Structure 1
Amino acid sequence: MERTNEIYQAYVQILKEELLPAMGCTEPIAIAYAAAKAREALGELPEKVLVQASGSIIKNVKSVIVPNTGHLKGIPAAAAAGIVCGEADRELEVIAGVTEDGICKLRDYLENVEIRMEYLDEGFTFDIIVTVYKKEEYAKVRITNFHTNIVLVEKNGNIIEQHQVESEGEEELTDRSLLSMEKIWEFVRCVEIDDVREVLDRQIQYNTAIAKEGLQGDYGANIGSVILKSEGNGIRSRAKAMAAAGSDARMNGCELPVIINSGSGNQGMTCSLPVLEYAKELDSGEEKMYRALVLSNLTAIYQKVGIGRLSAYCGAVSAGAAAGAGIAYLNGGDYEEIIHTIVNALAIVSGIVCDGAKASCAAKIAFAVDAGIMGYDMYRNGQQFYGGDGIVAKGVDNTIHNVGRLGREGMRATNEEIIKMMIG
């Protein structure tokens, strides 16, 4: 694959579009971003706020701590943080610069301003509308389909910015239909490292820092620390513990940023941190480490194309399978070993549901990473799952297609029931 090839250029761009920095769980941050943009359009501090959100957004905001808010949870906290302290031009780092004084102002704002929430059902899994009011004036911002995709900015009936949204899709991004495991494998072997070094270096730096913080601090259920205490310090335990510890910290108010994958910090950490641990253990060298990260990240992105940004299907599963692929590569695995690792891993843990962002995500991540490693161990020992074994189909791309169908279509009703349980 030549550097000038359309697919080569697309894959580089896809990595740049997906491996973005974010402060905190991305759904509350998307609300904060929309709120900051709405306040910016209004031009002054609003005296009333309406947040309308789809069920999957509500599910992922309900139980997670919003960073830089003094450990507050929920939609009102996220919206108020964006309005009072947000810097809209920083997008998913919109509330990264909040000071102690800002937290005091935020708390005062929450006590004195009505922030109302409504369930929004207009056919989009990912949908947020924030409307802010001051006397007779109002401003409205809508984000649809992915976290930074602003499709409407309106003030007092005047359209400032608008983009047509007819269906759930990401037409604004590089064409994801160009992804396939065969082409990803070809790209991994030929990519010029300098074309991806910057985004990967940032992923290594950010995600390693928050994982270490998760192991050192007291966050949530401390799953990362529990793994090391109960399973020892071997490489398999460390790979699971680092990914889990990053989630421990991120789900429970740590104010360090992460590099996301497919719109999720948990997925970004899951497909990178285990690979980094194995690269150190195996003394793989810098170049092989980078190529393993390219493989893992693109494999995770490819799986999420079919599933969608938000689903009742736990995203840690796809990221854990992707980490298994990266680990197989670091161990000298060829294409056959890598694709069978992915299929095996998906066959093992594809039943895990997503019931929102919260402390237990760290435990799900640990099991997904373990499944990725087991998927590789199985094939290395002459064992595999075959087409016809449940949702496993003949060919890795067909299996990934089945998982996407399961996550997007098959679990739609499951997602609705989970949302009803969570929000009554």
Structure 2
Amino acid sequence: MYREKLLQTLRRQVKPAVGCTEPIAVALATANARKFVRGKPERILVVVSPNIYKNGFSVTIPGTDKTGNAYAAALAFAGGNPDLGLEVLKNCSKEDYERAEELLPFVEVRFDRDKTGVYVSATVETATDAAEAVIANRHDEVVRITHNGEIVFASARCAESGASGNSGDDFDVTCLSLAELRREIGEIPPEELRFLLEGVTMNMAMAEEGLRLGAGLGIGRSFRELLQEGVIEDSLLCKVRMVAAAATDARMGGVPLPVMSSAGSGNHGITAVVPLKVLADARGLGEEVLVRGLAFSHLVTLYIKNFTGRLSPVCGCAVAAGTGAAAGMTWMLGGDDDAIAAAINMMLGNLAGLLCDGAKHDCALKIATSAGEALLAALLAEKGVAMSGKNGIVVSSAEESIRHLGRISTTGMKDTDEVILQIITGA
């Protein structure tokens, strides 16, 4: 019944991205505004939501050793291609990197406390022109472009701020129960889900680069060294953590390769994909099992994001993508709806309070934790372990537990991002 809608949702929410998607959203807005101006910039003003500001503050821009939203905007003006969406900085050259350095003095980045979720406004001014591009709701959703005060583009749903994981034309997966969602995926012919394997190829390639280069903090490569030294045990659980960390090391460390994102985040994509591939290889599970698990992992991730918000004070890699991965792996291991609900509840009971204090190198540690705990939850669910009754925010219904998590994220922690911003900006 929902086959086409779910496939469309997967294609819209699972996309390649080069670089952390918050500064990439800044780059994409700037590149779209850049199309409408002539000459050298006299000013590039970027106004973002606190969430975008936080996540773009410390992360490395791909292909460089530079960090932050301002450099992303400068590089986008120098050589960004808005037609590439979340891969807007994919083809930047050495000359573009050098020019971006020269443009930095013209860039100003502010955050607007009245904006929530995904919001970026980039205004580019030259001697002859001024253009503004606004991105909202999703990291690649341009909702408005103006040129010299005239609107040249406006989306049909020109909402300019929203914490929801869905854009107005997306299918709301939360209209289904998790059991219904699993059954719908189970009825989709596996060949129609094979496109999800592209994300496996991308994200595992990024992990290989992380292991090879020791990029970022080098967490993944250090895991491997500890294994080789016999300090930690060589196990499936350790391998999941090592590979997921390595992919994140490379991505947060600026390796200019794409990863397949999930619900607008490349780190979510790593968490939602890599553990499932490692498990499938270790257990000899076939392609059909893997692609169905991937579809479920991505959609449960999106399901949770619709309650917590696309950007939030809690670490989405843990509570959304990690939980999605746990659900997907539980199903891959033959778990039924009760086992899947048990795995989801274990993840929420375990990691619900993990903070998001911005995208940066140590995300590799959080993703290693999330990936490992996702596998552990699936394995425990396979053994029949399940929370019963009421355990804090976790109740017997996984859907209700997710709603409680959403309340914690959007209401209970409403001042958390403000405090984090004060800390990272030295205010």
CA deviations over 1:13-39 (Å, ceiling 9, x no partner) = 111011101000000000000000011
| 1:32 corresponds to 2:27 | yes
* More divergent stretch after superposition (160-169 vs 206-215): 160-169
Corresponding residue of 2:12? 17
Give yes or no for contact 2:313–2:357 (8 Å, CA) kept in 1: yes
Corresponding residue of 2:113? 121
Corresponding residue of 2:75? 81
Corresponding residue of 1:298? 299
Structure 1 residues 179 and 86: alpha-carbon distance in aligned structure 2, compared to 1, 3 A threshold: farther
Mapping of residues 141-160 of structure 1, within 5 Å: 141-160=133-152
Q: Find 1:401's aligned residue among 395, 400, 403.
A: 403
| 1:174 Cα offset (Å) | 2.7
Corresponding residue of 1:239? 240
Mapping of residues 341-380 of structure 1, within 5 Å: 341-380=343-382
Local SS of the residue matching 2:45: strand
Corresponding residue of 1:321? 323
CA deviations over 1:227-264 (Å, ceiling 9, x no partner) = 33253432111111111111111011111100100111
Q: Find 2:123's aligned residue among 131, 144, 150.
A: 131
Structure 1 residues 127 and 166: alpha-carbon distance in aligned structure 2, compared to 1, 3 A threshold: closer
Local SS of the residue matching 2:299: helix
Amino acid at match of 2:72: A
CA distance in 2, matches of 1:133, 1:123: 23
Amino acid at match of 1:252: G
Structure 1 residues 289 and 125: alpha-carbon distance in aligned structure 2, compared to 1, 3 A threshold: closer
Corresponding residue of 1:227? 223
Give yes or no for contact 1:393–1:402 (8 Å, CA) kept in 2: no
CA distance in 2, matches of 1:179, 1:211: 34
| 1:284 Cα offset (Å) | 0.7
Local SS of the residue matching 1:401: helix
Give yes or no for contact 1:387–1:395 (8 Å, CA) kept in 2: no
Q: Find 1:100's aligned residue among 94, 104, 109.
A: 94
Amino acid at match of 1:147: H
Q: Find 1:208's aligned residue among 204, 209, 215.
A: 204
CA deviations over 1:345-375 (Å, ceiling 9, x no partner) = 1111111000000011111111112222222
* More divergent stretch after superposition (231-240 vs 306-315): 231-240
CA distance in 2, matches of 1:166, 1:82: 21
Amino acid at match of 1:305: N
Mapping of residues 333-348 of structure 1, within 5 Å: 333-348=335-350
CA deviations over 1:27-86 (Å, ceiling 9, x no partner) = 000000000001102244422211111111110011000113x21111220001111101
| 1:220 Cα offset (Å) | 1.9
Percent of aligned positions that are identical: 32
CA distance in 2, matches of 1:32, 1:176: 29
Q: Find 2:174's aligned residue among 173, 177, 185.
A: 177
Local SS of the residue matching 2:133: strand
CA RMSD of aligned residues (A): 1.6
* More divergent stretch after superposition (99-108 vs 153-162): 99-108
Give yes or no for contact 2:214–2:221 (8 Å, CA) kept in 1: no
| 1:64 corresponds to 2:59 | yes
For structure 2, the 5+ residue unaligned runs are: none
Local SS of the residue matching 2:35: helix
TM-score normalized with structure 2 length: 0.93
Local SS of the residue matching 1:123: coil
CA distance in 2, matches of 1:62, 1:166: 22
| 1:167 Cα offset (Å) | 5.6
Count of residue pairs brought into register by the alignment:
415
Amino acid at match of 2:422: K
Give yes or no for contact 1:47–1:133 (8 Å, CA) kept in 2: yes
CA deviations over 1:157-178 (Å, ceiling 9, x no partner) = 1111124317624213233333
Amino acid at match of 1:287: E
Amino acid at match of 2:52: I
CA distance in 1, matches of 2:251, 2:68: 15
Give yes or no for contact 2:297–2:324 (8 Å, CA) kept in 1: yes
Give yes or no for contact 1:42–1:139 (8 Å, CA) kept in 2: yes
Amino acid at match of 1:89: D
Structure 1 residues 267 and 179: alpha-carbon distance in aligned structure 2, compared to 1, 3 A threshold: farther
Give yes or no for contact 1:10–1:175 (8 Å, CA) kept in 2: no
Local SS of the residue matching 2:143: strand
Give yes or no for contact 1:124–1:144 (8 Å, CA) kept in 2: no
| 1:190 corresponds to 2:182 | no
Structure 1 residues 166 and 48: alpha-carbon distance in aligned structure 2, compared to 1, 3 A threshold: closer
CA distance in 2, matches of 1:148, 1:74: 18
Give yes or no for contact 1:248–1:362 (8 Å, CA) kept in 2: yes
Give yes or no for contact 1:179–1:302 (8 Å, CA) kept in 2: no
* More divergent stretch after superposition (170-179 vs 332-341): 170-179
Q: Find 1:413's aligned residue among 411, 415, 426.
A: 415
Give yes or no for contact 1:38–1:141 (8 Å, CA) kept in 2: yes
* More divergent stretch after superposition (19-28 vs 401-410): 401-410
For structure 1, the 5+ residue unaligned runs are: none
Amino acid at match of 1:144: A
